[in-house]
């Protein structure tokens, strides 16, 4: 796993490069700080998803700053889940844990109330896994769905790449990025094109 200072330095550089307003940067930092205090691995994951998002945004038709912020804040609702739930691997989830975990997009939506686009994207960052999508949500605009698809593609990549392999998913070191991409497509066929673009432009470039 990456050392924290390196991740922090990369985030600082990207914030400068993004030309986001200080207000937006402070807003993202406030959410990251809360996660950092509550569950460090989720904080690191959120920073990495934001950094991947920025890079993807620069190479494709996204606003890089918005994809950066969406990645940084997508899991902010996990600050409301117990550490016991957060420390479990998906393969070890019992029914109660699963119900708890599935609340986090709604918590993110609630915590991000002030930034409507981020709130709406975070609510939808798990809606494309064909056997495991959640929560049930109302239709949204093309823009929100486009960013939700991008965050979900990146999210799966980072979570899978950094996760200890378990009964449910192969994880860090046990599969190649190409196999990881194919697994993502198998689990989320509706967003195959977005997944392929992300791997082509960010992971394989
Ligand atoms: Fe999530
Ligand atoms: Fe995530």
pLDDT at 194: 98
Tell me how crowded residue 200 is: count the other CB atoms within 10 A of its CB: 13
pLDDT at 42: 97
In whole angstroms, how far apart are CA 141 and each of 6, 57, 131, 145? 36, 19, 23, 6
Taking only the tens place, the pLDDT of each residue in 10-41 is: 999 999 999 999 999 999 999 999 999 999 99
Number of domains, the chain: 1
Ligand 2 centroid – CA 145 distance (Å): 16
Ligand 1 centroid – CA 87 distance (Å): 14
CATH of the domain at 151: 1.10.3210.10
Look up the domain containing 168 and give its range.
4-203
- For residue 130, is pLDDT > 90? no
pLDDT at 180: 97
Q: Which band of pLDDT confidence, cut at 50, 70 and 90, is reported for residue 2?
A: low
pLDDT at 1: 57
Ligand 2 centroid – CA 75 distance (Å): 5
Taking only the tens place, the pLDDT of each residue in 45-94 is: 999 999 999 999 999 999 999 999 999 999 999 999 999 999 987 777 88
Ligand 1 centroid – CA 125 distance (Å): 6
pLDDT at 164: 78
């Amino acid at each position: 796993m990456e050392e924290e200072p390196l991740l922090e330095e990369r985030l600082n550089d990207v914030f400068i490069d993004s030309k986001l307003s200080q207000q937006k940067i402070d807003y993202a930092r406030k959410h990251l700080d809360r996660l950092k205090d509550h569950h460090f691995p989720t904080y690191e994951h959120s920073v990495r998803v934001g950094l991947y998002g920025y890079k993807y945004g620069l190479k494709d038709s996204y606003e890089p700053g918005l994809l950066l912020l969406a990645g940084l804040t997508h899991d902010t609702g996990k600050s409301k889940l117990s550490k016991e739930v957060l420390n479990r691997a998906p393969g070890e989830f019992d029914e109660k844990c699963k119900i708890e975990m599935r609340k986090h997009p709604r918590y993110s939506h609630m915590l991000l109330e002030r930034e409507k686009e981020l709130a709406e994207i975070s609510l939808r960052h798990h809606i494309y896994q064909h056997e495991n999508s959640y929560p049930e949500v109302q239709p949204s605009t093309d823009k929100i769905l486009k960013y939700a698809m991008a965050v979900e593609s990146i999210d799966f990549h980072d979570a899978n790449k950094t996760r200890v392999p378990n009964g449910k998913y192969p994880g860090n070191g046990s599969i190649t990025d190409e196999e990881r991409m194919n697994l993502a497509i198998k689990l989320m066929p509706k967003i195959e094109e977005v997944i392929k673009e992300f791997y082509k432009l960010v992971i394989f470039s």
